[in-house]
Amino acid sequence: MPVLGYEIYVEGRRYLCGMTRRMMDSQRAYNYERTSYIEQVALQPKAPFVIPWESVENFQDEWATANTSNRAYLPYNAMDGEGRQLPSPQRQGPPPVGASFIQGGALALTDIQASIGMYRANLGAPSNETSGRAINARQREGDTANYHYIDNLSRSIEHLGRIIVDMIPRIYDTARVARITGDDGSIEAVEINPEMEQAKQKTADAMVINPSVGQYDVRVKVGPSYSTLRQESAEAIGQILQGNPQAFAVLGPEWAKMQDWPNADKVSKMLLAMAPPPVQALAQGDQDIPPAIQAQMQNMKQQMEQMQQMLQEAQQKLETDSVEAMRKMAEADKDRAIDAYKAETERMKVMQPAMGPQEIQALVLQTVQQLLTSPPIPPAPQMQQPMAPQMPPGGQMPQPGMPPPEMNQIPNQPPPGGFFTS
């Protein structure tokens, strides 16, 4: 099953390369810089001697192997053939080691890290980051730069899983018991029964499956291992407990279970034994709620229903009182309007004998104008008021005690004839 790194197409031709190929040029430069530096250091004790030829006459073999042997002394001729003194041999100072080789090696090493996007700090080497959060962020940067390798690996594993799933019904053609491993490393047994009609069935002993029934797919999730996730969870729960120590009764068993202590499971069970009953029920995977908790939940439910019923009754009473108050106000306004109409009618009866037709007409117009400008009587809610009788065709005013006519039915001009009859 191939696992690809970089896949590039240039003019229709496919090129594949991995992480090593991108580091080759920088590695060659680093090798050259380091080789040159080591060569110069190695040549430091091999600096040549400057001597007259006559001084080493008859001692050529000793001086020829001076840099390769560990001789205690090197003889030479102090006088020439004529008895003149010869200068003693002198070793020349070695050339200084070039600092450019050291700098070039450091730059080449940095180029190697840059070519793959992964620096020493990403691998855990000390850097400027001091907090744990900053260190984790720096390490994640290196993971992001090379995520395509992990992604391609997950794709290959996923495809391999599809092949295995396709082959399982052909290989597991007889009843058997298989062993499966969970995310946390726990081992469980599952029974395979190719003759079963259902895809799966849970029994008292184990889970029974039939791989030949149904269609299955494979999904691969890439991320930290279970141990890393457990450590991160333990740190997160520890921070919660530091800020809220009262939560230890609830989170204490899980926090102890995630630790790497010896007998951490036993400590978790001890803390679970002292935990409240609901926590114990959830930790043990019991779906049945204890009777005491059920009674408390039932009481709370009844109290909530009673409060909701009381709230509805109060709302209905408030609406009824509001409607009744508006109806009484409407009736009071109506009574006031009737009384005012009666009073005006009585006044007009008293004033009729002493007034002429023009004065009566002016008084009627004034009364109509006042009625038109007065605010209308609001109707009572959810009640239908009886319609006031209209003006009779003969133009007669209603008798005292009768309800006033509708305001919008009063004409702008008085009808022909008088308003009052004998």
The model's pLDDT over 58-116, given as tens digits with 9 standing for 90+, comes to: 888 888 888 778 888 888 888 887 888 888 888 877 777 778 888 999 999 889 888 88
- 379 or 67: which leads in pLDDT: 67
Structure confidence at residue 355 (pLDDT): 66
pLDDT band at 396 (very low <50, low <70, confident <90, very high): very low
Q: Write the CA distances from 301 to 232, 274, 287, 309, integer angstroms.
A: 39, 28, 20, 12
For the cut 70, the answer to whether the pLDDT of residue 139 exceeds it is: no
Structure confidence at residue 286 (pLDDT): 47
Whose tokens are 């702008």? That residue is: 412
pLDDT band at 146 (very low <50, low <70, confident <90, very high): confident
For the cut 80, the answer to whether the pLDDT of residue 367 exceeds it is: no
Q: Which of 78-82, 207-211, 355-359 has the lowest mean pLDDT?
A: 355-359
Structure confidence at residue 30 (pLDDT): 93
For the cut 50, the answer to whether the pLDDT of residue 404 exceeds it is: no
pLDDT band at 415 (very low <50, low <70, confident <90, very high): very low
Over range 399-418, report the average pLDDT.
Answer: 44
For the cut 70, the answer to whether the pLDDT of residue 402 exceeds it is: no
Structure confidence at residue 13 (pLDDT): 93
Over pLDDT 90: what percentage of the chain? 7
Structure confidence at residue 164 (pLDDT): 92
* Cβ proximity of 165 and 171 under 8 Å: no
pLDDT band at 374 (very low <50, low <70, confident <90, very high): low
- 122 or 349: which leads in pLDDT: 349
Closest CA to 208 of 221, 195, 219: 195
* Cβ proximity of 192 and 209 under 8 Å: yes
- The ranges assigned to domains in the chain are 1-43+96-144, 148-209, 226-283, 291-374
Over range 373-378, report the average pLDDT.
Answer: 57
Give the gyration radius of the chain's Cα atoms: 54
Using one digit for the tens of pLDDT, what is the confidence trace for 325-338? 888 888 888 888 78
Number of other residues whose CB lies within 10 A of the CB of residue 153: 16
Q: Which of 103-112, 115-124, 243-252 has the lowest mean pLDDT?
A: 115-124
pLDDT band at 52 (very low <50, low <70, confident <90, very high): confident
Over range 382-393, report the average pLDDT.
Answer: 45
Distance CA(199)–CA(214), nearest Å, equals: 7
Number of other residues whose CB lies within 10 A of the CB of residue 225: 10
For the cut 90, the answer to whether the pLDDT of residue 163 exceeds it is: yes
Over pLDDT 70: what percentage of the chain? 76
Structure confidence at residue 388 (pLDDT): 44
Over range 22-35, report the average pLDDT.
Answer: 92
For the cut 50, the answer to whether the pLDDT of residue 35 exceeds it is: yes
For the cut 60, the answer to whether the pLDDT of residue 305 exceeds it is: yes
For the cut 80, the answer to whether the pLDDT of residue 341 exceeds it is: no
Structure confidence at residue 141 (pLDDT): 67
Across 263-286, b (16+ Cβ under 10 Å) vs e yields: eeeebbeebbeebeeebebebeee
Q: Write the CA distances from 196 to 179, 180, 210, integer angstroms.
A: 19, 20, 6
- 274 or 45: which leads in pLDDT: 274
- 196 or 364: which leads in pLDDT: 196
Over range 263-282, report the average pLDDT.
Answer: 82
For the cut 50, the answer to whether the pLDDT of residue 409 exceeds it is: no
Using one digit for the tens of pLDDT, what is the confidence trace for 179-203? 888 877 778 889 998 888 888 888 8
Structure confidence at residue 403 (pLDDT): 46
pLDDT band at 389 (very low <50, low <70, confident <90, very high): very low
Mean pLDDT score of the chain: 77
The sign of the torsion formed by the CA atoms of 202, 208, 211, 213 equals: negative
Adjacent-strand bridge partners of 370: none
Q: What string of DSSP letters covers 157-224?
A: HHHHHHHHHHHHHHH--S-EEEEEE-TTS-EEEEEE-TT-SSSEEE-SS-EEE-TTSS----------
